[in-house]
Amino acid sequence: MKIAVFGDGAWGTALAMNLIANGHGVTLWGAFPDYLEEMKKSRTNGRFLPGVTLPETLEFESDAEQAVRNCDIILLATPTQFLRGVLKKMNGAVAPGRVVINVAKGIEKDSFLRISEIVREELGFVTYVALSGPSHAEEVARKVPTAVVAASASREAAETVQKLFMNENFRVYTSDDVVGVELGGALKNVMAIAAGIIDGMELGDNPKAAFMTRAIYEMGKLGELLGGKQNTFSGLSGVGDLIVTCTSGHSRNRHVGEELGRGKTLSEILDAMGMVVAEGVPTSLGAYTLARRAGAETPLIDSIYAILYNDLSAVSALRELMTRQAKAEV
């Protein structure tokens, strides 16, 4: 099949390589034509995925409308906060019913919409599939064994995506819970910031284990109130993605938290990261807002939001969490 990958970052590039390994034709779209030309000549993505050689058959396209017209399937690998602008560049070229796969994880900061909702607003009634799970681009590009889940209201579409990506290094399960899979991927980015704070403060293993356990419980509770299925959060897009994001050195969100735990300000951290996006920062605002709308009790999300947006110190947040009213675990 012919696939247009929208997003020349690490994740879009790694997935493009996997698709080419499976025999598909792939065109990579990026927002900066000069950088696409550099990638084409060097056969590397030194800015986002250094040390990896790109396949000779990987094609490049800077015209979004042209990329859409020449493909069978669209793969969205654009950070959540920039996605709406990229969809507008497609300029009505996406036919109704076209399969659109999304691999970004977040909540739009102004509308507080999930990505499937943004896609519906901008592209209309396409066949949407969310592909998510514990999957760092750096490891997928090196063919490290990885498992993810493809979620869609259309069983046929989920199974198509499963076959599209699956090989001996990349295993894909299917699900019909788009809401749960999207929220699992988005909320774990928020939680990873707090896991990083614990590491940055050098608090040890006990608090991090306790935090991750309560985080998956809170994610599942909120996810169910927002329309997801509770058991989805026990799967790859919930606990699986939470584990990898909270523990890995590849995690940008954990890095933000680690630097906060060491005493740096959020603005200092984001300035130092440059073009590298930490989705958990804007998504924490969305998670906090959606929790308030749903009437959910989300002490962890509330604390992360207060640290990022209300200048609450990590020490104060920890004290407040530890001294909350005693209660049953479940």
Decide if pLDDT at 307 tops 80.
Answer: yes
Say which CATH architecture domain 2-176 belongs to: 3-Layer(aba) Sandwich (3.40)
Residue 293 CB partners (closer than 8 Å, separation 6+):
none
Indicate if the pLDDT at residue 86 is higher than 90: yes
Q: What is the largest CA-CA distance in the chain?
A: 61
Please state, in angstroms and rounded to a whole number, the distance separating the CA atoms of residues 275 and 277: 6
pLDDT tens column, 232-242? 999 999 999 99
Least Cα distance to 186 among 82, 105, 303, 103 occurs for 105
Q: Which two three-digit tokens encode residue 6?
A: 């929208």
The segment(s) of the chain belonging to CATH 1.10.1040.10 are 179-322
| Architecture of the domain spanning 179-322 | Orthogonal Bundle (1.10)
Q: What is the pLDDT of residue 274?
A: 84
Residues 6+ apart with CB under 8 A from 92: none
Q: What is the pLDDT of residue 57?
A: 98
List, for residues 133-144, the tens digit of each pLDDT value. Answer: 999 999 999 999
From the CA atom positions of the chain, what is the Rg in Å?
19
For 256-284, write each residue's pLDDT tens digit. 999 999 999 999 999 999 877 899 999 99
Distance (Å) of CA 74 to CA 27, 78, 126, 127, 138: 10, 12, 10, 10, 22
Task: Give the model's pLDDT for residue 277.
Answer: 83
Active site (catalytic) residues: 188
Predicted model pTM: 0.96
- The Cα–Cα gap between 105 and 279 comes to 7
Phi-psi region of 8 (alpha: psi -120 to 50; beta: other; left: phi over 0): alpha
Q: What band does 43 get if pLDDT is binned at 50, 70 and 90?
A: very high
Angle among Cα 297, 236, 15 to the nearest 5 degrees reads 125
Closest CA to 251 of 8, 7, 11, 6: 11
User: What contacts 59, CB < 8 A, 6 or more positions away?
Assistant: 25, 26, 27, 28
- Residue span(s) of the chain under CATH 3.40.50.720 come to 2-176
